[in-house]
Structure 1
Amino acid sequence: MNTKTVEMTAAEMAQFEEFKKEQARKEKEVKTAENREAYKILVDETINGVFPQIEELSEMLASKKESIYRQFDEAVELKADAFGIKDGQRSHTFTSQDGKRRIILGYHETDAYDDTVNDGIAKVQKFIESLAKDSDSQMLVSGILRLLSTNTKTGTLKASRVMQLRKMADESGNEEFIDGVKIIEAAYRPVLSKQYVRAEKRGNNNEWVNIPLGMTEA
């Protein structure tokens, strides 16, 4: 291969170096754009390829869960008769006779209240306002206000906090405070959400080990 030697002035060499840098920058931009487009195409193809598998798995899990509930229907009914379990029980635990396996069926419960809860909250807040007189009472006021704060996701009071509120009301002996909490408790209308199935078995140390049934746990 024949080569030629080109003589350049310092200014010309600087211009040539700048030209090469600009060419390299443009090539890099083109390559980056191509890689990003290839990434988008790959992700799109992968999503479309995997999604049917996920939908199939979801349908299979839903079908299996329904089947498991049906298979335990008779056991639930017999349990109610044999042990006097009242209607409305939220969960049922079934354990094998050797104590090595158990299945837990139930419903997740979400805290919810009817509109009268606002009347109870207003009564409690009125009592709080009567306390805000000095720095000593401010700690109690702050504590009650925290209990009255709602769940950031659902916007409702947490039932566990209402129980703490009940304890504080009883300890205060204030009729308005106690009545306000009673109104809140009476307004409680828990909502049953999706059914769940949990399966556990005894581990090497005789502890209960959960069998993963979801994509997150598996």
Structure 2
Amino acid sequence: MSTINIAELTDEQKKALRVQLEAEKKAEKEKKDQDRKAYKDLSEEFVTTLIDQLIGHHKETESVIKKVFESYEPVQALKSEIYGVAINKQDSHTSTLKDGSASITIGYNVTIGFDGTEVAGVEKIKNFITSLADDSDKVRKLSKMVNTFLKPNAKTGMLNPSKIIELSKLREEFNNEEFNEGLDIIFNAQIRRQNSMYVSGYKFVEIEGVPKRVEFRFTV
């Protein structure tokens, strides 16, 4: 394609070129508008076609999960009688066939928050880190790691429970009373909340002569 030298064009040619460019720009905008409308229409059709089916499936799943929990009640009662009532505080329970060919776990998804007193624990740990006079590379790396673990979640403003577990692995590394006390305060400040129920498990089934582990998990 040859290159157009604008300086060599006549006024009439420049005008025609502007008209052409404006027409192309308008056509491009119209196509984008049409594509956006087509996307919105298709997206809406996707929802309206499937939403009732999914709501129905949710209700059915909820009914099945409740039935599974009810069916487990006598099993749990006997389990707590044998192993103690502390068993009832577990977030989940698992039953597995003797040969390991199938298993069912029932439980509650758990969220962990804090009651506000964890701040004192964080301060103790940070004070300990600040007190380290050693300027070695190892200490700098450990300090950076600790500060990363103590960084609050950007959305919730709270500590990340999984990071605190990682932080607790440094107890032996530091072997310090103030550090340990800070960790204990943070752990004691945790509030566990059971929310949604779930049923998960697996079964080995034979597919075309080959045993395959089929897994499932349903949550309501």
AA paired with 1:72? Y
Contact 1:123–1:180, Cα closer than 8 Å, also in 2: yes
Summarize deviations over 1:159-181 as a string: whole Å, max 9, x none.
Answer: 44434433433443332222222
Aligned length: 202
- Identify the range of structure 1 (142-151 vs 62-71) with the bigger mean alpha-carbon deviation: 142-151
Q: Deviations over 1:48-102 (max 9, x none)?
A: 2322222222222122211221122222212222343622011111123553221
| Higher share in strand | 2
Asked if residue 210 in structure 1 is aligned to residue 215 in structure 2, the reply is yes
Structure-2 separation of matches of 1:114 and 1:154: 13
The 1:207/1:160 distance shift into structure 2, 3 A limit, reads farther
2:108 aligned residue: 107
Task: Report the residue type matching 2:121 in the other structure.
Answer: G
With the length of structure 2 as denominator, give the TM-score of the two structures.
Answer: 0.72
1:146-165, aligned counterparts within 5 Å? 146-152=148-154, 154-165=156-167
Partner of 1:130: 131
Tell me the percent identity.
Answer: 30
Residues 155 and 62 of structure 1, relative CA distance in 2, 3 Å threshold: farther
Gaps of 5+ in 2: 1-9
1-structure distance, mates of 2:188, 2:20: 75
Where does residue 199 of structure 1 map in the other structure? 201
Aligned position for 2:146: 144
Give the structure 2 partner of residue 8 of structure 1: none
In structure 2, C-alpha distance between the alignment counterparts of 1:30 and 1:171, rounded to whole Å:
65
Consecutive unaligned residues of structure 1, counting only runs of 5 or more, are 1-10
Is the Cα–Cα contact under 8 Å of residues 113 and 156 in structure 1 kept in the other structure? Answer: yes
Contact 1:150–1:158 under 8 Å retained in 2: yes
TM-score by length of 1: 0.72
Instruction: Give the alignment's Cα RMSD to 1 decimal.
Output: 3.5
Q: SS where residue 111 of structure 1 aligns?
A: strand
Deviation at 1:122, TM superposition (A): 0.6
8 Å contact from structure 2 (residues 110, 194) kept in 1: yes
Which segment drifts farther, 179-188 or 93-102?
93-102
* Higher Rg of the two aligned structures: 1
> Do structure 1's residue 79 and structure 2's residue 79 form an aligned pair?
yes
